[in-house]
Amino acid sequence: MDSPPIVNGLSVDVEDWFQVGAFESVIARGEWDGLASRVEDNVLAILDLFAAADVKATFFTLGWVARRNPALLRRIAEAGHEVASHGYDHARVFKFDRKEFAADIEKARKVIEDAAGVAVTGYRAPSFSIDSRTPWAYMELAERGYAYSSSVAPVVHDHYGWSDAPRFAFKPLPWSDLVEIPVTTAILGGRRVAAGGGGFFRVLPYAFSRWAIRQVNRREGRPAVFYFHPWEIDPAQPRVDNAPVRSRLRHYTNLAAMADKLRELVHEFAWGRMDVLAHREAARAEDLAA
């Protein structure tokens, strides 16, 4: 008899087209308010896409976005999705010291909770920027009552990565139940490869993601964790012409095909909220120190 399918974690990192790490060097934070926001329309389209597939997900939202779009946050929560934190204005965790990080997550949580009207218990670091340089980040999250983090990319990448972190759920602190749920990697030719979404999902054929999620679900018996951004379904977004070529290539490839690919993905596999997944995975999370 077939066992029920593994429920994977579906997540959206809610930020606008001008807030991505790749454009940090050419668009200053001070310019953000003068740029045309497209995040609301894109998130509404995503809510429709999820509703049509009857899936629930987690929306890791920037405090900056929540402050300017409170009605959108309420709408996400009312549709049954989890609203969680993506930090205040997309500064990477390893750029902070411990105190600055604590202030950032507090500020973000307050504005997100006020907007959405629900408690925030999950956190995703901007650009998966929790790594071996930031051992205090988990202490701050645990002390502030977060249940889980999904802030680690256990892979080598030019913008991020904690290459020797565990690939699946782990408990980073011996004194806390806080659980980290890393974004999905697959093993290809004996090496870890990023397979949890973002640019990889958009740029590579859908068949790669299908293969990777099947490998994780069937061979390893674990849930996959997938993420994407609202701007990835928006081919009409303004072009940042002075950005580095490599960033532009990565940012603008296959935007028009993204919505169809997502539809295929959400229909082919079982998906749910990250808080539910974290709760389920906590029982078999390994200790980081072990």
Binding site for Zn ion (CB under 5 A): 13, 15, 126
Min dist. Cβ of residue 60 to Zn ion (A):
8
Which helix (H) or strand (E) element contains residue 199? helix 199-203
Minimum Å gap between C-beta 24 and Zn ion is 11
The β-bridge partners of 7 are 270
Q: Nearer to Zn ion by C-beta: 127 or 185? A: 127
CB of 183 to Zn ion, least distance (A): 12
CB of 14 to Zn ion, least distance (A): 8
Q: How far is CA 117 from CA 45, 63, 82, 120, in A?
A: 22, 14, 11, 9
* Buried/exposed 168-180: b ≥16 CB within 10 Å, e otherwise: bbbbbbeeeebbb
Using the minimum distance from each CB to Zn ion, give the nearer residue, 180 or 217: 180
Q: How does DSSP assign 142-169, residue by residue?
A: HHTT--EE-----S--SS---TTS-SS-
Cα–Cα distance measured from residue 145 to residue 21, given in angstroms and rounded to the nearest whole number = 27
Which residue in 229, 203, 202 sits closest to 17, CA to CA? 229
Between residues 13 and 16, which has the closer beta carbon with respect to Zn ion?
Answer: 13
Of 112 and 173, nearer to Zn ion (C-beta) is 112
- Phi/psi region, residue 18 (left: phi>0; alpha: psi -120 to 50; beta: rest), is alpha
Residue nearest Zn ion by beta-carbon distance: 13
Closest to Zn ion by CB, 159 vs 280, is: 159
Interacting residues of 29 by C-beta distance below 8 A, sequence separation 6+: 89
Complex with Zn ion: residue 125 or 142, whichever CB lies closer: 125
Residues 163 and 131: beta-carbon distance below 8 Å: no
Closest distance to Zn ion from the beta carbon of 17 (Å): 12
Q: Least distance from C-beta 90 to Zn ion, angstroms?
A: 6
In this structure, what are the phi and psi dihedrals at residue 112, rounded to the nearest 5 degrees? -70, -45
Query: 């500020």: which residue's tokens?
Result: 107
- Residue 171 vs 197, nearer CB to Zn ion: 197
| Strand 58-61 relative to strand 7-14, pairing | parallel
- For 107, the token pair is 């500020």
Is 15 or 131 the residue whose CB approaches Zn ion more closely? 15
- Residue 3 CB, nearest distance to Zn ion (Å)? 34
Give me the least distance between CB of 131 and Zn ion, in Å please. Answer: 15
